[in-house]
Amino acid sequence: MVNLSPQFFKQSMEVQEIAITLVVKGLNPAMLTLENCHAWGVIPEDWELSKNPMISSQQARLNFKNGVNVMAKPHQINFAEPIPVKGVEGMKFAAVAKQFVDQLTQVNYQQLRIEPRLIIVFNHQENDLRNYPREFILDYLMASGPWLNVGERSPQIAVNFTYQFPEYQLQLNIQEGYSQQSNQSSVRGLVFSGSFIYPINEKKSRESIKGEIDTWSNQLNQFQTIVKEQFLGKKG
């Protein structure tokens, strides 16, 4: 068993990405062409694609060189962007999501989700820490038992938490994952994925929805604090 003392947590927190997802009744992904996005004023004309668009009735994806990705599937559209090391200033994904809400007014919005994702990478220099992510989940978050001894190899493990707040719900998922390093090698880590879920009904105005979109940076900070202080036991 790994010693899960505070000294164990000599790790770095890498925020991978944050996304805004809108659940929209009847949304057809085939409508998400670059031409339509330009016509709606959702995507600036000078943005360049990093790869060819993928458009069908089941899935659509627009990837831009500035890092913004717009993805859609039936009844859902997602605006995502990697978070730069230098910080969140200048990120564009939320502005695109707000413009979408501004321009597409004759649709039925049902839910807004703010979804940060980060990975905890452990210091592999001092000890062999390859199993630490698994040990963290098994020994720190849940008890070991015979349910882990089923099948021919150790099971894949994920833990889910649901937290209630007055205006939204936070769903938090923890599982093992990998971080791609600059030398192209992969390092094992813990992936924390969050989803701040805001319900939307017919009485909620477009301005209210955009106001909730604007909470993304505060929710990112809250998510990082929860992971750092409540799960990793690091204060300040």
The domain in which residue 16 lies consists of: 6-21+110-231
Place of tokens 């015979």: 146
Task: Assess if residue 95 is contained within a domain.
Answer: no
pLDDT at 61: 97
Q: Both tokens of residue 197? A: 């879920």
Task: Assess if residue 130 is contained within a domain.
Answer: yes
3-state secondary structure the chain: CCCCCHHHCCEEEEEEEEEEEEEEECCCHHHCCHHHHHHHCCCCCCCCECCCCEECCCCEEEEECCCCEEEEECCEEEEEEECCCCCCCCCCHHHHHHHHHHHCCCCEEEEEEEEEEEEEEECCCCCCCCCHHHHHHHHHHCCCCHHHCCCCCCCCCEEEEEEECCCCEEEEEEEEEEEECCCCCEEEEEEEEEEEEEECCCCCCHHHHHHHHCCHHHHHHHHHHHHHHHHCCCCC
The answer to whether 29 and 58 are in contact (CB under 8 A) is yes
172-207 pLDDT tens trace: 999 988 776 665 667 778 899 999 999 998 888 999
Q: Which of 62-66, 139-143, 201-205 has the highest mean pLDDT?
A: 62-66
pLDDT at 2: 47
- The pLDDT of 207-230, averaged and rounded, is 94
Task: Assess if residue 192 is contained within a domain.
Answer: yes
Task: Assess if residue 226 is contained within a domain.
Answer: yes
Number of domains in the chain: 1
Q: Both tokens of residue 138? A: 């098994």
Q: Which range (3-7, 25-29, 54-58, 87-91) has the least confidence?
A: 3-7
pLDDT-derived band at 5 (thresholds 50, 70, 90) equals: very low
Task: Assess if residue 83 is contained within a domain.
Answer: no
Q: Which range (63-72, 152-161, 210-219) has the least confidence?
A: 152-161
What predicted TM-score, i.e. pTM, was given to this entire model? 0.85
How many CB atoms sit inside 10 A of residue 171's CB?
15
Q: Both tokens of residue 205? A: 């105005």
Task: Assess if residue 34 is contained within a domain.
Answer: no
Residue 2 CB contacts under 8 Å (≥ 6 apart), including other chains: 8, 131, 132, 135, 136, 139
pLDDT-derived band at 105 (thresholds 50, 70, 90) equals: confident
Task: Assess if residue 47 is contained within a domain.
Answer: no
Residue 86 CB contacts under 8 Å (≥ 6 apart), including other chains: none
Task: Assess if residue 203 is contained within a domain.
Answer: yes
Residue 74 CB contacts under 8 Å (≥ 6 apart), including other chains: 27, 28, 29, 57, 58
pLDDT at 122: 67
Of 49, 46, 48, 70, the closest CA to residue 60 belongs to 70
pLDDT-derived band at 10 (thresholds 50, 70, 90) equals: low
CB burial of residue 77 (10 Å; 0-12, 13-18, 19+): buried
